[in-house]
Amino acid sequence: MPLRRRKAYVPDLRRFGALCEGNYGRIRRLRLLAEAHPEVAEFELRDGDAYFGRVRIEQLQQSRFTETLLLEQIHNAGRWLNDPHLTVRVYHDAGVAEVISCYRYNRIEAINDYPNRFMHHPDEKTQVNAFLADWLDFCLRFGHVPADRIAWPVID
């Protein structure tokens, strides 16, 4: 029986582009929700009495058309899931946001050979950006700014 050659992975650029465009809009809406000052935005995730943790969006770097953000969720200790900890590059001129690092992986390759040393999927970059989209949707649904941190307008 002859050996079959494995088909090379071809990234779906339309899906990846749509994820990055959607993430750009989601991040903008979240930052408007919790904008205390441009460098740091924080809010809590709640559903009634259920507390899911606190999310922090910190600006690490800014240039004319791009900025780098750290997005992390801080939860109660002892949970069985890792809290999200992502570095995202936001391209304001193109209107896209892309995950550039995730947890302890400093660089996410666009395409990975498979199998590989860390067992990353061939489409790891797309999967991480899809996770960001899901997480940001969750944050938009359950994100709340505590009343004591809202800057109420002064009425004379």
Q: Is the peptide bond before 2 cis (omega within 30 degrees of 0)?
A: no
Full-model pTM = 0.78
- Find the range with the poorest average confidence among 48-57, 59-68, 73-82: 73-82
pLDDT surpasses 60 at 22: yes
Which pLDDT does position 40 carry in this prediction?
Answer: 85
Give the pLDDT mean for 83-106.
88
**First and final C-alpha spacing in the chain:** 86
Question: What confidence category does residue 133 fall into, taking pLDDT thresholds of 50, 70 and 90?
Answer: very high
Q: Classify burial at 46, counting beta carbons within 10 Å of its beta carbon; exposed 0-12, middle 13-18, buried 19 or more.
A: middle
Q: Which pLDDT score, from 0 to 100, does residue 146 have?
A: 67
Domain boundaries, the chain: 17-143
How far apart, in whole angstroms, are the C-alpha atoms of residue 139 and residue 46?
Answer: 9
For residue 69, name the pLDDT band (cuts at 50, 70, 90): very high
**89-93, 124-128, 147-151: segment of lowest average pLDDT:** 147-151
Q: Which of 45-59, 70-84, 92-106, 114-128 has the lowest mean pLDDT?
A: 114-128
User: How confident is residue 152, by pLDDT bands cut at 50, 70 and 90?
Assistant: very low
